[in-house]
Amino acid sequence: MLDPSLLRSAPETVAAGLARRHFTLDVAALNALDQQRKALQIQLEQLRNARNEASRQIGQARRQGLDTGAMQAAAVSNGEEIKTLEQSLERTLAEWDTLTIGLPNIPQDSVPDGRDEADNVVLRHWGTPSTFAFPPRDHVELGEALGIIDFAAGARLAGTRFVVLRGPGARLERALTQFMLDLHTTEHGYTEIAPPFLANADSLYGTGQLPKFEEDLFALRDDPYYLIPTAEVPLTNLLRGEIVASLPQRFCAYTPCFRREAGAYGRDTRGMIRQHQFDKVELVQIVRPEDSAQAHETLTAHAEKVLQLLELPYRVTALCAGDLGFSAAKTYDLEVWLPGQNQYREISSCSNFESFQARRLQLRYRAEDGKPQLAHTLNGSGLAVGRTLVALLENHQQADGRIRIPAALRPYLGGMTVIQA
């Protein structure tokens, strides 16, 4: 969430920042609630002081043997007024919370202006988009011809946007997961975590999925849990409510992820690009504020390394202000080339949230002066396993339908160099 002191002291500055997202902050409503809060708090303080003084006077009168009936009646009236004002203050604070909890993060100055993905800025390319001496097939055709991808079974077992991987396909997904985890733990210095795949509402609130994106979550019917939409949720919440002794902290995890895709009706209905359940290796860093800009570049490079070792062409784009996620202050998307679609598609989003999540989580560290300060949080996919599998099939397909296995992945497949029917 945004800094309440900034919202109260400089709402116009906040409004200007949010306007870059094409989000309108109702400054008048915000100021009115804050003025109402101040007035109520002043009145309550005066009444409480009067109550304390009345109690002192009643006690003194009793010691002198005087009649205190009128004074006690006045005290009762005072107490009722205090209770009424406390209820009014509680309602005002609740209205403030309702208004401010829905405010997205303020974009960093370096984020390009724009309204949607058409305004995102391509920063760099790696590799050359694959070309073939034959018409390239997409992963659906390739996987079904090889007998490793079964959409009919997925639909029969669960429904649309589910898939079954068979034989070498299932092994390939497992190999990709292990390859990513080994790279990030042994070379990039992340601590591997095996978290729960369910999360409570407090955890999802802490990372910003609740309350705004509840419609995209799968909730258990009779229990207060949600299926996690990403390992970002449990990993970032590992230190919720703590004052961390040492920073930076780096965590990574493999988890399945579950999303309703409520806002994506009709999009990517073919294939594995947009599934209700998909596997992902997630990277999370928790750092000091002065280190978060460099940490963002480093985390992005860690995700890029996976694509480079798998010989998958990609590009890096900076999301414009209007395309940023709710909690992000800045985001880089990695977009892998898919010959079957003849375009780049997102395979990882690497974001700096600054203190936005940490304020919700009360995730802090001790500064040099010994005082607790809010940390900065970052995360990114390292990578989405299903989309990586799609990219590998399409980019490394051969004329006869076989799939070449890049050298870096072969040790995870028992030395296998190709996948064939």
- Bridge partners for 251 per DSSP: 191, 284
pLDDT value at residue 130: 84
pLDDT value at residue 267: 82
Phi, psi torsion values for 336, nearest 5 degrees: -90, 145
pLDDT value at residue 124: 98
Q: Check whether 265 has a pLDDT greater than 80.
A: no
For the ranges 140-144, 199-203, 368-372, the lowest mean pLDDT is seen at: 368-372
* Residue linked to tokens 């709402």: 11
Long-range Cβ contacts of 151-155 (<8 Å, 24+ apart): 151/271
For the ranges 64-73, 209-218, 292-301, 379-388, the lowest mean pLDDT is seen at: 64-73
Interatomic CA distance for residues 20 and 321, integer angstroms: 6
Contact 193, 235 (CB under 8 A): yes
Name the segment(s) of the chain with CATH classification 3.30.930.10. 117-419
Contact 21, 28 (CB under 8 A): no
Residues 6+ apart with CB under 8 A from 11: 25, 27, 30, 31
Q: Check whether 263 has a pLDDT greater than 80.
A: no
Burial class (CB within 10 angstroms; exposed 0-12, middle 13-18, buried 19+) of 322: buried
- Bridge partners for 397 per DSSP: 403
Q: Check whether 70 has a pLDDT greater than 90.
A: no
| 359 three-state secondary structure | helix
Enter the tokens of residue 16. 């200007």
How many CB atoms neighbour CB 167 within 10 A?
Answer: 11
pLDDT digits (tens, 9 = 90+) for 84-112: 999 999 999 999 999 999 999 999 999 99
- Bridge partners for 191 per DSSP: 251
pLDDT value at residue 65: 87
Summarize the confidence of residues 340-348 as an average pLDDT. 97
Annotated catalytic residues are 259, 274, 346, 349, 387
Contact 296, 373 (CB under 8 A): no
Contact 403, 419 (CB under 8 A): yes
Name the segment(s) of the chain with CATH classification 1.10.287.40. 26-101
Q: Check whether 305 has a pLDDT greater than 90.
A: yes
Q: Check whether 324 has a pLDDT greater than 80.
A: yes
pLDDT value at residue 140: 97
Enter the tokens of residue 112. 């390009």
Residues 6+ apart with CB under 8 A from 77: none
Interatomic CA distance for residues 95 and 207, integer angstroms: 21
pLDDT digits (tens, 9 = 90+) for 29-38: 999 999 999 9
Summarize the confidence of residues 353-360 as an average pLDDT. 98
Q: Check whether 79 has a pLDDT greater than 90.
A: no
The domain made up of 117-419 has a fold known as BirA Bifunctional Protein; domain 2 (3.30.930)
pLDDT value at residue 59: 86
pLDDT value at residue 2: 97
Q: What CATH code is assigned to 26-101?
A: 1.10.287.40
Summarize the confidence of residues 242-256 as an average pLDDT. 97
Q: pLDDT averaged over the chain?
A: 96
- Bridge partners for 226 per DSSP: 199, 219
Summarize the confidence of residues 39-60 as an average pLDDT. 90
pLDDT digits (tens, 9 = 90+) for 136-182: 999 999 999 999 999 999 999 999 999 999 999 999 999 999 999 99
* H helices, E strands: number in the chain: 12, 18
pLDDT-based confidence at residue 43 (cuts at 50, 70, 90): very high
Q: Check whether 332 has a pLDDT greater than 90.
A: yes
Contact 51, 78 (CB under 8 A): yes
pLDDT value at residue 89: 96
Q: Check whether 264 has a pLDDT greater than 80.
A: no
pLDDT value at residue 281: 98
Q: Check whether 132 has a pLDDT greater than 90.
A: yes
Q: Could you tell me where the beta strands, DSSP code E, fall in 153-297? A: 164-165, 191-192, 198-199, 218-219, 226-227, 243-244, 249-258, 277-287
* Residues counted in the chain: 421
